[in-house]
Structure 1
Amino acid sequence: MATFFQRLRSAQQKHDSWLCIGLDPTANRIPVGIDVETFGKKIVDATAPYACAYKMNLAFYLAYGPEGMQALQSITAHVPDEIPVILDAKFGDIDYTAMHYARAAFEVFGADAVTVSPYVGMDAVKPLIDYKDKGVFVLVRSANTTSNDFQLWPSEQSPLFRYVTAQLNTLADTHPEQIGITVGATQPRDLTRLRCWAPTLPFLIPGLGEQEGDIALAVEHGITVTGIGPTINVGRTIIYASDDPGDFDRAAAATAHKWVDDIRAEREKQLA
């Protein structure tokens, strides 16, 4: 049975892509007359040749109520089997509760990996990695500016997120190919430091596109020493490339293609 990160590596190689497409539907931005499920499936059909993964943010589907839950299940099942799906839920609770989060993510919604917030400790992570073929991206350094209030404590030289990373390195020794970290592209200095502190942990990198993160550093420091590329997430810039009900999917495909080309060009530039 292949692990999540083995499947991710395979998809990256097959599509020559480090692009993860964030499928986060917002009611006031979806083209008029298109329901959330149709929107997601059409985006998947159009962009699958360019994606190494899809990331679904649970909050956007919860906002639609029961329709959103059904759409999340249906869109996830619609993604081609060779492309893994990340449920971006940022779960973070004690182990008894985390067991139920794991069941919801992997058995109910059919995700291949999930994001986790580690504030309650490794109890939030361990029940999720009991599913040996699944992956967990632990939030270490987020893209928003107010994260500094907690994540840089007690100092920039020895921040809390460095200690969290050390704990994840230890856990990954006993659970190889299951644990990655989330680090925002809007934190370029810390993205660089985290690759030094965690050379083997795969990165999920949000914060590009509308958040204007640094693509060059995401490419330069994203890859692990074992050759797994970063999962570079771009959402709104791709899925809302057009609000025309007749061609929003084609516009998304063209934008995804450009992002893949830009990432490839950056890789080639750094190898030159």
Structure 2
Amino acid sequence: MTRKDLFEQIQSKKSYLCVGLDTDINKIPKHLLDKEDPIFEFNKAIIDATKDYAVAYKPNIAFYEALGASGWNSLQKTLEYIPENTFTISDAKRGDIGNTSSLYARAFFENMNFDSVTVAPYMGEDSVKPFLEFKNKWVILLGVTSNQGSFDFQHLRIKDKNRSLFEEVIIKSQEWGTSDQLMFVVGATRADLLEKVRKAAPDHFLLVPGVGAQGGSLEDVSKYGMNDHCGLLVNSSRGIIYSSNGEDFAEKAKEAAKTLQMEMSEYLDKYLG
């Protein structure tokens, strides 16, 4: 999917909502467990309920690969069920030496046909570049995250450059790929960090998890993160997919997604006109 295609979806749906499919077999409604493929049945219902409000879906790969072959099968079926022209994110957080990264890229871009994959930048340029060699595919590089452990490394100061390590990662990586193929993950729980990232990468899309169950503010994310082409994909996982653990789970997911979309529509009008 191109940048233009993605922005057109945002404009059409008046939304920059990404629904995280962090589907845990231990959390899905019990009435689904009798199905042949409970994971897929849950995802299918969530997608049906939210597809009018979401411009992207983000399966977290760990929830699927933990189940072995059956999990990969559920993931592939889920991916094929996501409506056409909807952006798909493989939240795999890969990143290794060049030849290994090339194989990871082929797995997610050629074999499974995801639009994008999350990549860890710690090993540097040669671990990221293989993912950038695929036309109309995206690398979503981990920029600054909201977990407590992020302070171990991401916020260390680089004294001679007067900036944090995460800022250096974001600035340096723009030498590897353009705003048409490179996004950054930015945790939603601290607006001041989002403002710094937007200053360091004014033209790039940002994938922003942490709104909803993790306490991030959609208002702050929109205020400090939006650019001229929206430039945001705001992810909500638990806050949508686990709105209910009963037979009404899909209906409640729809309500949660619609609520976020309506708020997003207001911010798009406010900041983009």
**TM-score when normalising by structure 1:** 0.92
What is the deviation of 1:162? 1.1
Question: Which residue of structure 1 lines up, in the alignment, with residue 236 of structure 2?
Answer: 234
Q: Secondary structure at the match of 1:138?
A: strand
Question: Which residue of structure 1 lines up, in the alignment, with residue 168 of structure 2?
Answer: 163
2:47 pairs with 1:44: yes
Q: Which amino acid in structure 1 is aligned with residue 238 of structure 2?
A: R
What is the deviation of 1:263? 2.3
Equivalent residues of 2:179, 2:205 under 8 A apart: no
Q: Distance in 2 between matches of 1:176 and 1:237?
A: 29
> Any stretches of 5+ residues in structure 2 without a counterpart?
33-37
2:182 pairs with 1:184: no
Q: Which amino acid in structure 1 is aligned with residue 26 of structure 2?
A: N
> Any stretches of 5+ residues in structure 1 without a counterpart?
none
Q: Distance in 1 between matches of 2:202 and 2:4?
A: 17
Q: Which amino acid in structure 2 is aligned with residue 164 of structure 1?
A: V
Q: Distance in 2 between matches of 1:268 and 1:84?
A: 22
Question: Which residue of structure 1 lines up, in the alignment, with residue 20 of structure 2?
Answer: 22
Q: Distance in 1 between matches of 2:86 and 2:8?
A: 9
Q: Which amino acid in structure 2 is aligned with residue 15 of structure 1?
A: K
What is the deviation of 1:269? 5.5
What is the deviation of 1:270? 5.8
**TM-score when normalising by structure 2:** 0.92
Equivalent residues of 1:192, 1:217 under 8 A apart: no
1:205-224 counterparts in 2 under 5 A?
Answer: 205-224=208-227
Tell me the percent identity: 37
Question: Which residue of structure 1 lines up, in the alignment, with residue 35 of structure 2?
Answer: none
Question: Number of residues paired by the alignment?
Answer: 266
1:21-170 counterparts in 2 under 5 A?
Answer: 21-34=19-32, 35-154=38-157, 157-170=162-175
What is the deviation of 1:141? 0.2
Which deviates more, 154-163 or 95-104?
154-163
Q: Distance in 2 between matches of 1:228 and 1:266?
A: 10
Q: Which amino acid in structure 2 is aligned with residue 234 of structure 1?
A: S
Equivalent residues of 2:64, 2:74 under 8 A apart: yes
RMSD: 1.8
Q: Secondary structure at the match of 1:49?
A: coil
Equivalent residues of 1:47, 1:252 under 8 A apart: yes
Q: Distance in 2 between matches of 1:205 and 1:11?
A: 18
Q: Secondary structure at the match of 2:149?
A: helix
